[in-house]
Amino acid sequence: MNELDWKPDKSTPVPLYIQIKEYIKEKIETGEWTLGTKIPPQRTLAKAFGVNRSTIVAAMEELIADGLLEGKRGSGTKIINNSWSLMTSTPPQTGIPMCKRGVIILICLRYRKSIKQSLIQISSV
């Protein structure tokens, strides 16, 4: 993992945690940060980006909810998916036409907290 040579722009209306999330997501999607790689510790990222640790925590929680990272207390956070691996994974056999299964998968990854409600609504279509 290369030197962190980027800092969020504090003068824009975009929240810092979103800027950081997008930066990390781009590194993962472009393959610069590869699957299985450990992300630097939160305190290291906070210092490198010049932000509070809670800002890093918010960005990491978003990336975990998106299915890109997995965090384990004591062993750090690692990259478990990139957009390519998410798109090429085989959807479960549900009896729902292929195009609707793809929509369900995207909704599940994007909105994990309301997954049950989304699946119920989509399955009734």
Tens-digit pLDDT string for the chain (125 aa): 656 889 999 999 999 999 999 999 999 988 899 999 999 999 999 999 999 999 999 999 999 998 999 998 888 999 998 865 555 544 444 444 444 444 555 555 555 545 555 556 666 66
d(CA 81, CA 62): 14
In a domain, residue 100? The reply is yes
Can you give the residue range of the structural domain that contains 26? 16-82
Query: Residue 82 has what pLDDT?
Result: 80
* Token pair recorded at residue 80: 């478990």
Contact (Cβ atoms closer than 8 angstroms) between residue 34 and residue 85: no
Please tell me whether residues 23 and 74 are part of one structural domain: yes
Q: What share of the chain is helix, strand, coil (3-state, %, to 5)?
A: 55, 10, 40
Please tell me whether residues 107 and 58 are part of one structural domain: no
d(CA 61, CA 65): 6
Sheet arrangement for strand 76-79: 38-39, 76-79, 69-72
Query: Residue 90 has what pLDDT?
Result: 46
Please tell me whether residues 107 and 72 are part of one structural domain: no
Residue with tokens 């932000």: 51
In a domain, residue 8? The reply is no
